[in-house]
Chain A
């Protein structure tokens, strides 16, 4: 029986580590190949870690609460009936002879030696793979490709003699663009000042990690890249409130809690169709604007682990009731830490509903690579003068925060006005229905 190491596999794009929530096995347990052995909280979601091999669990290498990096040995397993671990790939023979030409004397022919470097010593994959010596590109271009996540090996260069130019790399990146955005993003060099407090029992220090660390990185990047501006306005939502009261009962019959958010989604999608720049991304690497013809609307969910943004995909293709059902399901999953990674990937536009907690207005931060975020706030009764009489209406505040590189102030103002027209007259939404 051979004891094998089980390493933490790649658990998602851009995920390099996770916090061990709890073990699903203990030493002595018999496990099957692909059986989940642990629950890990990554910066994006909680995932189950499978073991690629079956056997008897021998040793758990971490305890709950530990942060495990991809590639580390998580458990050892006594493999049943399997052969011994494959020997490490051995490199060239030729032991260091005690006669010259000695190892140190190999100069000219040693050029290649530094390169292959007996990869596989630690089972960690290097992405993109190192440029082979055949690649014709300057050191700076090779580094650019690496930082952009582009594999320069085998790229057809447009330069003389097939040289891969900087432009070649940039356009290769543009082809696969936006989707891989945040993963390839190189954190800007921002000052990282230390905090010197009083120390002792008056302060507690905890590591910045997991979801909180990812939130910090994403927001820092968004603030670094995007020039934000926010526009605010108030809408008379008396009609909307009445309409929602009517539909609420119908929704309950279908087992769905109808909130205001689905109405906002629908009014937004109709408005964004008029203003496509709000459903776009800027591909900085390629120097292009990407207009998206699909509507994946994210909504900010406050959870015990921190802010998460689940997504209603293809929201324009779904009925109000379907959208309402999905929002309530996704919000539940978010609270329980059960969101899958792909339920949080690929938003084209985000809505944040701060009104459910409080506050009249906020200036939210855009979820890069999106270019706008929409805020909705709490409904209030407000006295108004109407035909010389004091009457009462329901009002709701809305904000739109936009990427000023792409969206001018006046455009945002027209966008908000068009949205408010729809939300104040929800009947109009019928006209937009598809």
Chain B
């Protein structure tokens, strides 16, 4: 007999498990179905393991390049990388987080069903596992089945020589040479991580530059410079055509601006993006509408075309980011519990863990203009002028603040530099609160911290940052923009 629930969540990633916990907190009988990993791609083959390895790479990079100047004497020769130990440590990080998710679900009384979910009807879900198949019914379903890496023709993933991001995070031995196809954020995060660990990396990018459309162009420029310095080769306007085995490795044929070039490497990593898993679980069979990009169509409550079924996270819409999925998970759980909710967040902050990190919240200048903000105030403050950044020996980058010139309301904040990922939350809060430049400038930021750059960037946008030379206040005309301390 089918088990009955108020809510069944399909997928235990950062959208699904959060939705399930909030449902349970609201007194709904809840089950979550997971076919692979508790915590989903994020905790197991995405955000968390990649950040573990990126941290390791950064650590080694600093050891090699910065430690001597700080006064450390390294033993002669290279620092050896024990890849097996690094993988073991990374696995430990993931297991700990995934175990935490399982405990939280259990502690909240959520039933965890392991297996592959397929809708039999819009009311009944089959869950198939090695121990057989069972059925569950529910008043509401939440689809949180996520996304998977896109394959390109001729480069089917075998996870031995042709790797997806999943395989690239699980290498047992450190390769000597890698070809990364796709200069988006996943490709560059993996590419710079391996470069830091001493791997020779070539990035093949079809566009005119890396991270195109993924971040503020000024921020990208800083990263592009650092890639060059680290020795990562970036081929732009280049298309990967084919590959063949070459010894124990591969030979990839790339068309670079019309000229064919063969590149030998140990492995090739394909990171050209991810696509929603809307073609699974018989979602279309039960009448869910899917748009031409493969996202399940939803409204601002994340309700699908079948009213008792909701969809959240990567399977529902852009941006495909874990924190957006979690936000939607809470929202949908509350909608199901009868509360009036709708998605109205002003910004989903985004972080790219390259070197240095890029983080953004709100609009770029281009987007602000397109949205009708004709006059902008833009302030930039470099980390090189920040005491903490200098004392950390990480001075590349800046904070850029964009505001509407008429109202001084902050529209976007873009950071490239040390700990950009940890600084961006203040930016997101400012934008959600509708803060003006003065609100940030007048908030006392502690010294000496990287966070002072936010305050200074706001001051710079107003025309009077302290720690960079701007045009003297006295030389300006009374009432000129930037002089109004509190208009």
Contact = CB atoms under 8 A, between A and B. Distances in A.
Interface string B38-63: 00000000000000000000000000
A257 to B, nearest CB: 43
A124 interface: yes
Chain A, interface residues (CB within 8 Å), range: 35 or more
B262 interface: no
A115 B343 contact: yes
A100 B211 CA distance: 9
Given A102-B272, A107-B185, A114 B345 contact: yes
Contact of B436 (A102, A117, A124, A160): A160
Contacts of A161: 407-409, 434, 436
B213 A101 contact: yes
Contacts of B409: 136, 161
A112 B347 CA distance: 8
23 contacts: A94-B293, A95-B292, A96-B273, A98-B150, A98-B152, A100-B187, A102-B271, A104-B274, A105-B211, A107-B214, A108-B367, A108-B414, A109-B213, A114-B317, A114-B319, A118-B295, A119-B299, A121-B297, A131-B344, A135-B344, A161-B408, A161-B434, A187-B338
Interface in B235-249: 239
Interface stretch (A85-93, A281-289, A295-303, A325-333): A85-93
Interface of A: 69, 71-72, 88, 90-91, 93-96, 98-115, 117-122, 124, 126, 129-131, 133-139, 142-143, 146-147, 149, 160-163, 186-187, 192
A106 B215 CA distance: 8
A109 B362 CA distance: 9
Counting contact residues on chain B (CB < 8 A from A), the size range is 35 or more
A162 B239 CA distance: 50
A288 B436 CA distance: 33
Nearest to B327: A114
B350 A108 contact: yes
A125 B82 CA distance: 58
A83 B363 CA distance: 42
B319 A110 contact: yes
B105 to A, nearest CB: 20
B192 interface: no
A98 B302 CA distance: 27
A108 B214 CA distance: 5
A230 B50 CA distance: 67
A110 B360 CA distance: 11
Interface in B146-195: 147, 150-153, 182-187
Interface of B: 27, 147, 150-153, 182-187, 205-207, 211-216, 239, 271-275, 289, 291-295, 297-308, 316-321, 324, 338-348, 350, 352, 360, 362-364, 367, 371, 407-409, 414, 432-434, 436
Contacts of A101: 184, 207, 211-214, 273
Contacts of B151: 98
Contacts of B408: 161
A90 B299 contact: no
Contacts of A138: 432-434
Contact of A107 (B340, B346, B360): B360
Given A109-B364, A117-B317, 14 more contacts: A91-B292, A94-B293, A99-B182, A101-B184, A105-B214, A106-B214, A106-B319, A107-B319, A112-B367, A118-B298, A131-B344, A146-B340, A146-B344, A161-B407
The A contact surface, by secondary structure, is: loop
Contacts of B300: 115, 117, 119, 126, 129-130
Contacts of A147: 339-340
Contacts of A90: 291-292
A96 B147 contact: no
B215 A72 contact: no
